[in-house]
Structure 1
Amino acid sequence: MSFNSSDFLIFFPIVVLIYFLIPQKLKNYWLLIASYYFYMCWNAKYALIILFSTIVTYLSGLALDTLQQRSADPLIMRKKKIVVAISVLLNLSLLFYFKYINFAIGILGDALSVFHIQLNLPSVDILLPVGISFYTFQALGYTIDVYRGDTCAEKNFFQYALFVSFFPQLVAGPIERSSHLLQQLATPHKFNSEEAKSGLLLMLWGFFLKIVLADRIAIFVDWVYGDYHTFGGWYLIVATALFAIQIYCDFAGYSIIAMGAAQILGIRLMENFQSPYLAVSVADFWRRWHISLTSWFRDYLYIPLGGSRCSKWRKYRNKMIVFLVSGLWHGAKISFVVWGGLNGLYQIIGEILQPLRDKLVKLFHLNRNSIGHKAVHIIVTFVLIDFTWIFFRANSFSEALTILSQIIHIHNPWILFDGSLYNCGLNSKNFCFMLLCILLLFVTDYLKQKKICIREIIARQDAWCQVLIIAFSVVFLLIFGIYGTSYDASKFIYFQF
């Protein structure tokens, strides 16, 4: 079941209504049932994978809690490390089998072919469970938090199972921390009209990003990338720039709908995006983009590797490892690894060149707080990030290289002015409407960066005005959303991860 499906528009109101009508002690059980039903709508048997991960990490937490109460002698510490190792190994083995087994077979075959050894292992026909990377990392984060003493082990199995499977953020995040979400689930919530209105407005904005903007952009991007041999040069440049907006609206749209749905139920999820395309550097971009994953890698991989508290070159190594692993987390393809590696390389080069940039600023008396200076940095950052999206969007590394060749060797800037862009799936009206919506997105992100919350402004209006705004938003989505027989309502880009 997807947020932008008709099934969800029936499912969610029923869940909310029953949640606020039943007794307090039954609320979490109801949410747990609803969460498993939500996931089983994709593939019922894959709910067993979530259950397995839940049982392993739950028992690991209890074992660690028991050991925590004893003396901290070396033997106890060794046992705690063994418990964590078992939990991590079992969960990552499951993730490896479903997501990376064919990739590993291919890499092994290519490596042996160098020595003229033929490995005729058949590929494994496996359907990737939706959201497995998200809930696996969330469950592992809990195990590590208990090991570190950052959170107490959850004794109530059903409450912990809800933490792992809470349906708004189950299949595409944000990846919540146990200290944040488990505490909120411990106390079932009563209905709050202000929270419900705020959550509904969040959901409407998320739906705008997804079905009005992301899915409209997808038509153009898929048209060009689907026939990149024909649409070279500036067609691909425009499509790549638009893909940067598409993936942002698609993923941020999902995260915002998840936040809104959870808020209606009285639960606050962490914010996953902070106006990323207004970032003034690649490092700044990654502080704003997919924040829950970036912070997960920082806390559970980068810092344990030594973080920044080591030599300069070890710090660079740690950053590169994190971004290579991040690329692999996104998908079992070399192109994803290259995408991650480029983002890591950008940051390392940025740090190396920082002293030189500081000298140039002093030499030319530049004002880093000026609008012009920031605008240049924002544009340069966008271009650098957009270049990496080519590897993310392409179906393979070789295809990405071909696309780059098509961009470099074909010179057709006139298509920007002669109406040729209107022949790529979107007519002139739809294309211009898309550009207006992108402008609205950037204005909203700018206001958000300036700490101006539109929802708070709406909340201060009279009740009739709020109802009118919500009604207008619903009608707008119905009129301008992308629907039809060819529309695949289950397609959120990050569901494949």
Structure 2
Amino acid sequence: MLGFKSNIETLHILLPVGISFYTFHGLSYVIDLYKGKINPTRNFIDYSLFVSFFPLLVAGPIERATHLLPQIRQKREFDFEQAVNGLRQMLWGLFKKVVIADNCAQYANTIFNHSTEYSGSTLILGAVLFSIQIYCDFSGYSDIALGTARLFGMELLRNFSFPYFSRDIAEFWRRWHISLSSWFKDYLYIPLGGNKGGMLMKIRNTFIIFLVSGFWHGANWTFLAWGFLNALYIMPSIIRGTNRNHLEIVAKGKIFPTVREFFSMVLTFGLITFAWIFFRSENLAHAFSYISSICSPSLFSKPDQVQIPPYLFYLIGLFFAVEWLGREQQYAIANLGVKYHKIPRWAFYVALVLTICICHGTEQQFIYFQF
């Protein structure tokens, strides 16, 4: 009717941005309605706003009808403190995305796209840069979305809780993309039987969750391999029953972690970074080629010159320091409006804005816009 010739390529090009996210929004409404957790929404505008609320439309967080619809129905008035908190979170999200993620992306892309030309040590650097990129890119978007929603008097679900400070894989998945993990738990894992059918059913259901999570990211063997690898990572804690050991943030109330906690975080980060290689690679052949190049004698050589400016490493160090100091809050700089005097607080805000303006990387599309 519109003059388009229907074929697979056209369908691929015309696939709506963020379709996975608002599909899950709609599914949560239908499933909760079926289970009797909510009553039908008679107001079409309220329902449309729930599905298409613009801050979370293209990359989440994946909202629940039980959480967002009541906020849409109630009368909202402008709250100055809530708005300031929202703007503060937006600023931190912009810093993570524009300064950290976009700068890391430039060099991670160079290394991954020409992986055969670099030494093993350089490839490890590329994998680490991609780990930092995908976290700052996705959590930066979530911070911007949550902050924007606060300007409209709405509180969205938290999506990240400092996942790279996790002490094991189970803790990482409680802190990474929380809205998706909890969605799969409530609407897939528990209906499959959850933990009630014994160890074999628990193992089966865990593998199903991670494989479906991989497939959700795209119809590519690399995503399935990434999901399968994470399922393998979490199996020891599932079998031993230690997957609920670390419910509190690491070193709560302390400045420094213990030696054991530190090495646990380093090991967890290393395992996650290894899995991200499959996530980032174009195909399985590329992933295995990348990994085999790492496992070569050049692993112990000095990294090749990728022309990474030294200030980027200083900014990454500063970013992790701020995240560590603010890890007990909803987001890293949430306490700046409470603890510090007005002058240093505003100086920090201005410094962040100037850093965003001066040290921004080459513009990169949000990674999760493709899902």
> Do the two structures share a fold, i.e. TM-score over 0.5?
yes
Equivalent residue in structure 2 for 1:305, among 192, 195, 220:
192
1:375 corresponding residue in structure 2:
262
Equivalent residue in structure 2 for 1:200, among 70, 81, 87:
87
Aligned equivalents of 1:227 and 1:238: distance in 2?
13
1:446 shift after superposition = 2.2
1:193 shift after superposition = 1.8
Secondary structure, counterpart of 2:219 in structure 1: coil
What is the root-mean-square deviation in Å for CA atoms of aligned residues?
2.5
1:480 aligns with 2:359: yes
1:457 aligns with 2:327: no
1:241 corresponding residue in structure 2:
128
1:496 corresponding residue in structure 2:
370
My pick for the range that moved more, 187-196 or 123-132, is: 123-132
Contact 1:128/1:496 (<8 A) preserved: no
Residues 202-221 of structure 1 aligned to structure 2 (within 5 Å): 202-221=89-108
1:329 aligns with 2:216: yes
AA in 2 matched with 1:176: E
1:195 shift after superposition = 1.4
- C-alpha change, 1:125 and 1:147, in structure 2 (3 Å) is closer
AA in 1 matched with 2:196: R
Contact 2:99/2:355 (<8 A) preserved: no
Aligned equivalents of 2:240 and 2:21: distance in 1?
35
Aligned equivalents of 2:143 and 2:205: distance in 1?
31
Gaps of 5+ in 1: 1-44, 46-97, 103-121, 359-368
1:150 shift after superposition = 1.5
2:21 corresponding residue in structure 1:
134
Aligned equivalents of 1:378 and 1:153: distance in 2?
45
Secondary structure, counterpart of 2:295 in structure 1: helix
1:408 corresponding residue in structure 2:
295
Higher CA-based Rg? 1
Contact 1:307/1:315 (<8 A) preserved: yes
Aligned equivalents of 1:380 and 1:461: distance in 2?
34
Contact 2:326/2:335 (<8 A) preserved: no
Aligned equivalents of 1:249 and 1:282: distance in 2?
19
Gaps of 5+ in 2: 246-255
Number of aligned residue pairs: 354
Secondary structure, counterpart of 1:198 in structure 2: helix
1:370 shift after superposition = 7.2
2:248 corresponding residue in structure 1:
none
CA offsets per residue over residues 78-121 of structure 1, 9 Å max, x none?
xxxxxxxxxxxxxxxxxxxx9xx97xxxxxxxxxxxxxxxxxxx
> With CA pairs under 8 Å and 6+ residues apart, which has the higher RCO, 1 or 2?
2
2:34 corresponding residue in structure 1:
147
Higher helix fraction: Structure 1 or Structure 2?
1
AA in 2 matched with 1:323: F
AA in 1 matched with 2:366: F
Residues 46-195 of structure 1 aligned to structure 2 (within 5 Å): 125-195=12-82
1:197 shift after superposition = 1.3
Given the two structures, how large is their TM-score scaled by the length of structure 1? 0.67
1:391 aligns with 2:278: yes
2:319 corresponding residue in structure 1:
441
1:272 corresponding residue in structure 2:
159
1:152 shift after superposition = 1.8
- C-alpha change, 1:278 and 1:464, in structure 2 (3 Å) is closer
1:351 aligns with 2:241: no
CA offsets per residue over residues 248-273 of structure 1, 9 Å max, x none?
00000000000111111111111111
Aligned equivalents of 1:123 and 1:157: distance in 2?
31
AA in 1 matched with 2:33: V
Aligned equivalents of 2:345 and 2:125: distance in 1?
38
1:391 shift after superposition = 0.4
Given the two structures, how large is their TM-score scaled by the length of structure 2? 0.89
Contact 1:335/1:392 (<8 A) preserved: yes
